[in-house]
Amino acid sequence: MIEFQNVGKTYRHEVVALKDINIKIDKGEFVFLVGPSGAGKSTFIKLLLHEEKATSGKIIMNDQDITGVSNRNIPLLRRSIGVIFQDFRLLPNKTVYENVAFAMEIVEAKSRDIRRQVPMVLGLVGLSDKAKKYPNELSGGEMQRVSIARSIINNPSIVIADEPTGNLDPDTAWEIMRVLRHINQRGTTIIMATHAKDIVDIMEQRVIAIEKGTVIRDDKKGVYGYED
């Protein structure tokens, strides 16, 4: 469902971020994206989110060639992708409920659907009793669960998590991984960039390692493979 064919990305001033990437990720896979900082992980994610355009090759998503997609259609493509960030990116002046509902409001969902869907997803990430709280009343793990709820509220087929456990202690990190795994088991593809060695090693999922702009490793049940 996601396919990179000879994809390359060169920024201005001839900075090569990615070159000749060939990857195929099927529906429902759980993929770890590992590699040193500045190796090309961020660029890879930016290409998936259409924040950047590939300078060569072809990207296919849900049977659709999206390489040359027009700026107008990018918002529509993004609706099929959920995103989770290391720093949560919640709106501080909105409650948990409102933060999640917000993602539905801006794609102009029906009020009835919003009222039905938001409590359901909050239940899924285990935050039913925190719906009326504001982000500053939550722990880091809870905030990240809100952002997960927000990322899946519009039923995307893919969730991209950019170091979702980077700001969390190990116990909380595992809590988040359980939520992500649960979402993955419901059929959502998950692509997670991470530096968390033990999580990658214990989860035994597919690992794609990027270094110096190329894929140096792509194992079905991989390990982290770096010492940091």
Partner 1 sequence: MKIKTMGYMVKQGFVGLWRNRGMSIASIGSVTASLLVLGVIITLVINMNNIALMGQSQFDNIQVYLEEKLENDEIDSIGTELESIEGVAYVEYESQDDALEKMKESWGEQGYLLDTLENNPLPNSYIVYFEELEASQTVVHNIQGISGVDEVRYYQDVIDNLINIADFVQLTGLFLIAILGLIAVFIISNTIKITLNARKQEITIMKYVGATNWFIRWPFVIEGMFLGLIGALFALTIVYFAYEYAYNLVYARFYALFAEYIVPADAMLQQISLMFVVLGIGVGVLGSLISMRKHLKV
Please report, as ranges, the residues that interact with partner 1 according to CB under 8 A.
49, 71-72, 75-79, 81, 83, 89, 91, 102-103, 105-108, 111, 150, 154
Q: Are 118 and 109 in contact (CB under 8 A)?
A: no
Return the number of other C-beta atoms located less than 10 Å from residue 139's C-beta. 13
Of 24 and 115, the one with the shorter C-beta distance to partner 1 is 115
Run of H or E residues at 97 = helix 96-105
- The CA distance from 17 to 8, in Å, is 8
Report DSSP letters for 14-28, one per residue: GEEEEEEEEEEE-TT
Of 191 and 207, the one with the shorter C-beta distance to partner 1 is 191
Min dist. Cβ of residue 81 to partner 1 (A): 8
Of 40 and 82, the one with the shorter C-beta distance to partner 1 is 82
Of 88 and 224, the one with the shorter C-beta distance to partner 1 is 88
Min dist. Cβ of residue 69 to partner 1 (A): 13
Run of H or E residues at 48 = helix 41-48
Min dist. Cβ of residue 66 to partner 1 (A): 14
Min dist. Cβ of residue 51 to partner 1 (A): 9
Of 147 and 205, the one with the shorter C-beta distance to partner 1 is 147
Secondary structure of residue 143 in the 3-state scheme: helix
Q: Are 172 and 141 in contact (CB under 8 A)?
A: yes
Structure tokens at 2: 């996601």
* Type of residue numbered 134: Y
Min dist. Cβ of residue 192 to partner 1 (A): 16
